[in-house]
Structure 1
Amino acid sequence: MSPRLLFRTFAFAELVTWAGLITALILRGTGVTDAMVAPAGGVHGFVFLAYCVITVFVWANDRWRFGAGALGLISAVIPFATLPFELVMDRRGRLGRSWRLAPGEDEPRGFVEQVQAWVLRHPWWSVVILLAGVTAVFSVLLWLGPPIPKG
């Protein structure tokens, strides 16, 4: 999977989960039901964390400037902003078609590139570690509770 496809997939997933969460909040606010808020919030939180990890990964691969990478992360906080960000980055040619640190490609320089090269050379272990890490962070956040207390 190319950096472009990976980023586009998660940018769209982030948008979809925002829509689900906002719909659930509207249903709760109008008194229809509050049963959808917890699952929609949970799915959105998980996709949000995964999107942030993937944004940093693509940022490093495609050597985005700091402002572009930071804007990519900030776009996850604003409802539906990941799609316009992704479209602009794609139009500008900033979403790579290949991994530059894949085996047989560029040699990594610095800590971030060393980590990325290891991930690209050990994809299955990387997926397991990534899922475990995102799940651990997600679990801690669930244990802490929602960002805005109910009531």
Structure 2
Amino acid sequence: MDALLDIPAAGAGRLGRQAVPPRQPRPRLRCPGLAEMVTWAALQAAMAGVYLLERPRLMIRVSGVVHGFVFLAHALVTALVAVDQRPRMPCGMCGCCY
């Protein structure tokens, strides 16, 4: 019967909505940051393989494209977190204060 009358739960705010806790930026930056680290290491390993071991350049092309995509995704997530958190300007530009 309560569901039919839409009675707010105890402790609920206005219109029966719970207060939304502030978002934490570190969990949102962790996955793109780790992916950036792994793809950068793969790119460095491919470069070492090409220049030191004389392997085909295809390794650099593939790892470079993957790393470029992940880098742009990481930059986008950092920008979205900066907009959400509204930090001071230098911290928002480099993403180092999260």
What is the TM-score when the length of structure 1 is the normalising length? 0.45
SS at match of 1:70: helix
Q: Distance in 2 between matches of 1:12 and 1:19?
A: 11
Q: Which amino acid aligns with 2:85?
A: D
Cα deviation for residue 35 of structure 1 reads 2.3
1:33 aligns with 2:46: no
Q: Distance in 1 between matches of 2:91 and 2:65?
A: 27
1:22 aligns with 2:44: yes
What is the TM-score when the length of structure 2 is the normalising length? 0.67
Q: Of the two, which has the highest radius of gyration?
A: 2
Task: Select 1:57's aligned residue among 80, 83, 87.
Answer: 80
Cα deviation for residue 56 of structure 1 reads 0.4
Unaligned runs of 5+ in 2: 1-22
Determine the structure 1 residue equivalent to 2:67. Answer: 44
Runs of 4+ in structure 1 displaced over 4 angstroms?
A: none
Cα deviation for residue 2 of structure 1 reads 5.6
Cα deviation for residue 33 of structure 1 reads 3.1
Q: Distance in 1 between matches of 2:38 and 2:92?
A: 21
Instruction: Tell me which of the two structures has the higher relative contact order, counting C-alpha pairs closer than 8 angstroms and 6 or more residues apart.
Output: 1
Q: Distance in 2 between matches of 1:2 and 1:71?
A: 17
